[in-house]
Amino acid sequence: MRFALLFAFITACLMKSVHSCGCEYNFATSCSDGPTEGAKRLAKHFTERFGGRTEIYNCRKIEGSSTTSLHAEGRAVDLYVTGATGREAFDYAVKIACSNGIQEAIFNRRIWTSELGEHDYKGVNPHIDHVHIGLNKCGAKSFGAAS
Ligand SMILES: [Zn+2]
């Protein structure tokens, strides 16, 4: 009985570490050396589902601001799809966000974060030609690792 409980506990912990990164927001602070494994797997997962091409790593600030972009830490994927497909990819990202460490999605002047939900995006880049999907630090390590 005690072993069964211990086993259940360990399994739950393992499942949590692999499957549930939550969707809390981790700001980027400085440039890393390339794309994270989680972002590479996210790019593959989304292109298999929605087509398009992707870009991940780019050592830069957010356009029109002094805030370091998640792309600078290799934690964001830009998926180049537009129109209804873009909206579908955005909705899908939001749907799976909080169990996979997705902390933000941006498309067509709209942004989703767990804190504020979906609302208008006022950034300089309107994100009409691509969907931006950002991972928190946990997601950047483990997105898609189990599959
Ligand atoms: Zn982006």
Q: Which tokens belong to 117?
A: 């939900």
**Ligand 1 centre and the CA of 22: distance in Å?**
20
**Ligand 1 centre and the CA of 133: distance in Å?**
7
Sheet holding 53-55, edge to edge: 53-55, 76-80, 131-135, 102-107, 110-113, 117-120
Nearest to 121 by CA among 134, 130, 108: 108
| pTM to 2 decimal places | 0.87
CB burial class (10 A; 0-12, 13-18, 19+) of residue 4? exposed
For CA atoms 44, 49, 52, 54, the dihedral sign is: negative
Domains in the chain (CATH in brackets) are 21-142 (3.30.1380)
Cβ neighbours of 123 (radius 10 Å): 14
pLDDT in tens, 93-118: 999 999 999 999 999 999 999 999 99
pLDDT in tens, 47-90: 999 999 999 999 999 999 999 999 999 999 999 999 999 999 99
**Ligand 1 centre and the CA of 116: distance in Å?**
19
**Ligand 1 centre and the CA of 13: distance in Å?**
32
